[in-house]
Amino acid sequence: MFSTPAAVPPIRRQVAAFAGSALAHGVGFALLLVAMSEPSAVRGGGTRPRPPLEVFAVSPPEPAGSAGLQPLPAEAEAFLPITDPPSDLSIARLSLNLQKISAHATLLFPFVTPGLALERFLVAPSHSLNVSSVLASLNGQRAVSRDEGILNLDATARQALIDRAWSRRDRWQAFQAIAGAAASSDANHGDLPAILQMYREQNGLQPYVDRGVKDPSFWVYLGLAADHIDFVDFISRYVRDHPGTKSSTELMLLLDAIALGSVEDLLALMTIDPRRDLQVTLRTDLRAYALAVKLQDYYKDALTRKGLTTEVAIRASYDRIRLAILDIVLRTTPDNYRASDVRFLMGEIYWRQGNRQDAIRVWSQLAPDPADTYGIPSTRIANRLKVFADSPADHAEIDRALASERSRWRAFSYERLKGFGYRSDSY
């Protein structure tokens, strides 16, 4: 169980229900008023056809603290609390804060346990009817966006903001510079969508190379995983409050990137043998060693109940989660914004799985934009598909396009690390 196959590459209430019902009835009344107020005829005779009205979808009420997740299983309550948790651990020239790992012990890998409540991310797109806009128009008023300000920054200021939000550790804390801007900026206009894209591209996934003893990388991976629940919480709430906007699209793509990193963090926990691989931790802090063993036992049990007992099964589960996230983006993004990036990522997942038919099906709809994150490889693949004959040469060209993108990311990431005084094996 949880061995590493050589063939796999690394890589509430009644009050809330009543409120929702009242809003839904209010929307219906607003729609009726719009229909009654619209003239039925146009000059010159004839009846002007009414365009179909799109129903404003009310997202399900979100319980406090749910963070876009399914409810925690009963086993999580039995797991807590962690008695006498460790605080700091200093090993191999690294000083690590273990407090957040302990505090988020049952939520380190929210994508698989307890799992995302995906319906909370699939809410009405921005082109659906907005009740406040309808009522304002009936009163001859200008509808006011919920987003008060449009963020406008020059290129230097944008990059400075991204650099300020960069961190090798404590990513959530560093992200507050951008989270604050998101809370006060228009979700569709101005620079906020571009800044969220830049954050994902430049500050998101960072390479970490395991050298020497395994203790440092083990705790580094868990430290990174401890921040994921805060990002999931922020993204789920932002998407709920700003449905179908460009900024929500960018944040959903960030959620996909976090899932991509989460699988490696989980495998770092599940494939390690504490007695063999965490001897430095054992000699340094017995409480930290006990935490590692307890975490592995908890997640091994949780994954076994889900039938995820091998690395292949875990990776396949994350692939399904990522495809569901990306499908939600395609359903909710405004005017196909970033749609090619989404299709590139979906096709990449299918292609890596050996599912060429679905990869080609998705990639056949690519319409690359120069502003896309994956514009270059998407263009290469789209051009190849114009003459695609499902031949070995076609497969090799697509493989090269995907490999070239991975190489570009690695080269950029290493230079980015160097710019902040880090190497791939430092943290």
CA dihedral over 165, 152, 146, 30, signed as positive or negative: negative
**Domain residue ranges in the chain:** 338-427
Asked if residues 218 and 277 have their Cβ atoms less than 8 Å apart, the reply is: yes
Amino acid identity, position 319: D
CA–CA separation, 73 and 304 (whole Å)? 14
- Structure confidence by residue, pLDDT tens digits, 393-417: 999 999 999 999 999 999 999 999 9
User: In this predicted model, what pLDDT tens digit does every residue of 46-105 receive, in sequence order?
Assistant: 333 333 323 333 344 444 445 689 998 888 878 876 778 888 899 877 888 899 999 999
Do residues 398 and 139 lie in contact, with contact meaning Cβ atoms separated by under 8 Å?
no
CB 337 within 8 A of CB 318: no
d(CA 295, CA 285): 16
- Contact (CB, 8 A) for 243 and 120: no
Q: How far is CA 361 from CA 107, 328, 350, 358, 365, in A?
A: 35, 18, 10, 5, 7
Q: Is the pLDDT of residue 18 over 70?
A: no
Model confidence at 275, pLDDT cuts 50, 70, 90, reads very high
CB 243 within 8 A of CB 59: yes
Distance CA 358, CA 11 (A): 22
Beta-bridge partners for 96: 89
pLDDT value at residue 129: 34
Q: What percent of the chain has pLDDT over 90?
A: 67
pLDDT score of 209: 81
Q: Please tell me what DSSP assigns to residue 122.
A: -
Tokens at 53, concatenated: 């009205």
User: What value, to the nearest 5°, has the Cα angle with vertex 258 and ends 158 and 6?
Assistant: 130
Task: Indicate the average pLDDT of the chain.
Answer: 82
Cis peptide before 61 (omega within 30 of 0): no
* pLDDT digit string, tens, across residues 129-172: 333 333 333 333 333 344 458 999 999 999 999 999 999 989 99
Q: Rounded to an integer, what distance in angstroms lies between the CA atom of residue 229 and that of residue 111?
A: 9
pLDDT at 122 (0 to 100): 85
Give pLDDT, residue 148. Answer: 55
| Of the candidate ranges 1-5, 14-18, 80-84, the one whose mean pLDDT is the lowest | 14-18
Q: Give the three-state DSSP class for 161.
A: helix
Which parts of 205-338 fold into alpha helices (H)? Answer: 215-225, 228-241, 246-270, 274-277, 279-284, 286-305, 311-332
| Planar angle of CA 62, 324, 59, nearest 5 degrees | 25
Q: Torsion-angle region of residue 70: left (phi > 0), alpha (psi -120 to 50) or beta?
A: beta
Contact 409, 377 (CB under 8 A): no
3-class secondary-structure state, position 79 = helix
